[in-house]
A and B are shown apart, each in its own frame.
Chain A
Amino acid sequence: MIPPFSADARRGELIRPPRFLPAVDWPHEHKSFAFGPWDIGSGNSSPDMSRGNYGAGWVAYLESGGGTYLQKKMPNDVWDGSPRYLLALVGGIKKISLEFAPTGFVIIGYLRPDRAMGVWWRNPDTGLPQLLDLDTDVQDMVLTVENKDDPTSTDVFLWYFKNGGLYLRQYSERFAVVHGPFFSGVTDPVIIQAGINHRYGYQVDYRDNAL
């Protein structure tokens, strides 16, 4: 079942629109925006949480060579030009989704070329970066923070379509539990955005490329 929609979450906004973030004007295969900690030294190092979480804009982008990099938005509406090498996988990556844990550590959701899906995150139980291969035959996926207004204890959701049905895994459950399908019958879905709609609860917007 879909997780209960907490009263606090109603203060949250649907999505902080990425249209307010600078353009990514260099060659890349795919990109994903998110708001996160103030700074990160290198890809898997500890984040600088001295100015809180979910306040600074970040972009993760996938280059043609298979490497995933991270850059931070500067105050003058440019990216900082300091690519932090995040992740490269044996077998490559097809698509990524970026979010940040309440601890400020990067979470990368990935789709492999063979449509296997997983997340690369820092497992709170071990304190170490971990590659979690979660499912196969996934059509699309996106990570989203449940409620940025509760930055220290918010959950992070992994929404994904498989066989035309929408499923959910949660950071709080170590992405181990599958919820759903919440609806099915979609042929070729692509997720546009996901988040909280303060009127209706959780919302996942998608388009069906088969239509």
Chain B
Amino acid sequence: MNEINTQNQIGIKGAYAYQVIDDVTGDIVVDVPEQTNLILDSYLDIPRPLPNQTTFLCLGSGVVTPPSVTDTDLGNQVAGTYMGGWSVGTYQDSTDNFLISLRSTTDFTNIINNEISELGVRLNNSTGTLITRALIKDTNGNPASISVGEGQTLRFTYSLYFKIPKAIFSGSVSTPHGIIEYEYSIGDQVVTQSLIEAFVRYSEYGGSNQGQAYAVYFSNGSSAGSYGSKSLDIPNRKVISTFNVPAATSDRILGAPASTGWTDRLLFKMARYNDPFHFRVPKNATRLTLPANYDLTVQLEITWGRLP
């Protein structure tokens, strides 16, 4: 058995902006741009970029205890409401990574007589697991309180930023049969905003919990399916996906032919809907011949954490 090990880090960051709006005139009475929000440990315990549960934006009053990553509650919650859906806020395809943000706007219309001082996002309902927490800040970034009067609406625009590394990993591994040069990357010919969005919205790190199907590509244009497994290490924010290319009775050259468009020199890919990650053989690398009766195992390590 031959092995390839690689890794990939995905980063998450939260932010919020708010406005106080006059319900009659539509005038914006208060307008504060984006302020940093703390992603709590409980968020990072979720092994996927965007939680697949419904989210509720909750507000607290009177308490200005600084957020800590171990927080499990707001200091004094006075309101909580369903956040609705997430839409794409920003998207950037930079040299080394993809940056995408998902955005949700939530209105509060009945919080008069409260000095709103903190906010957070909970899962499932307004008393569910708290996954983010922040103090209300003013335009200068200093802790502040929001007073909402009669006939006014408090509108929050909550954003989650995701950084998906493009370069991910490349290198070589020596096997008894030669050297495999590999890149683990996002296909630069086909990745679109919608693919990255789908990855953030629907993917679990390291693939789904069910049997994970992969495909391995050979120089004759054929491919073979394989099933892998996943080992989650939540405390260390790490998942290791393992998949195996079973042995065959004939020699096989790893990597798809260069003529097959976006699968150019494709080595492996997760055969999952919309999964943009795959292994490739670099274009100028020599493709390895996997001799008959030998298999190959690939271990893919993905880590995730907070963005600064």
Asked if B76 and A120 make an inter-chain contact with CB atoms under 8 angstroms apart, the answer reads yes
In the assembled complex, the CB of A70 is this many whole angstroms from the nearest CB of chain B, namely 12
Asked if B64 and A88 make an inter-chain contact with CB atoms under 8 angstroms apart, the answer reads yes
Sorted nearest first, the 3 A-B pairs with minimum C-beta distance are A131-B76, A42-B70, A131-B62
Asked if A131 and B63 make an inter-chain contact with CB atoms under 8 angstroms apart, the answer reads yes
CB-defined contacts of B68 to chain A, threshold 8 Å: 42-43, 85
B72 at the interface (CB under 8 A from A): yes
- Determine the interface band of chain A, counting residues with CB < 8 A from chain B: 20 to 34
| A87 closest partner in B (C-beta) | B65
Question: Tally of A-B residue pairs with Cβ under 8 A?
Answer: 62
Q: Given A90-B115, A127-B127, A128-B127, does the pair A42, B61 have CB atoms closer than 8 Å?
A: no
Asked if A44 and B71 make an inter-chain contact with CB atoms under 8 angstroms apart, the answer reads yes
Contacts A129-B75, A131-B62, A133-B62 supplied; 6 other A-B pairs, CB < 8 Å: A42-B68, A44-B71, A45-B70, A120-B76, A128-B127, A130-B76
CB-defined contacts of A120 to chain B, threshold 8 Å: 63, 75-76
Separation of A86 and B63 alpha carbons in the complex (Å): 10
CB-defined contacts of B117 to chain A, threshold 8 Å: 90
B123 at the interface (CB under 8 A from A): no
CB within 8 Å of A: which residues of B? 61-66, 68, 70-77, 115, 117, 127, 145
Q: Given A85-B65, A90-B62, does the pair A129, B70 have CB atoms closer than 8 Å?
A: no
A41 at the interface (CB under 8 A from B): yes
Interface centre among A45, A120, A131, A133 (most CB of B within 10 A): A131
Separation of A88 and B145 alpha carbons in the complex (Å): 13
Interface centre among A67, A85, A88, A127 (most CB of B within 10 A): A88
| A44 closest partner in B (C-beta) | B73
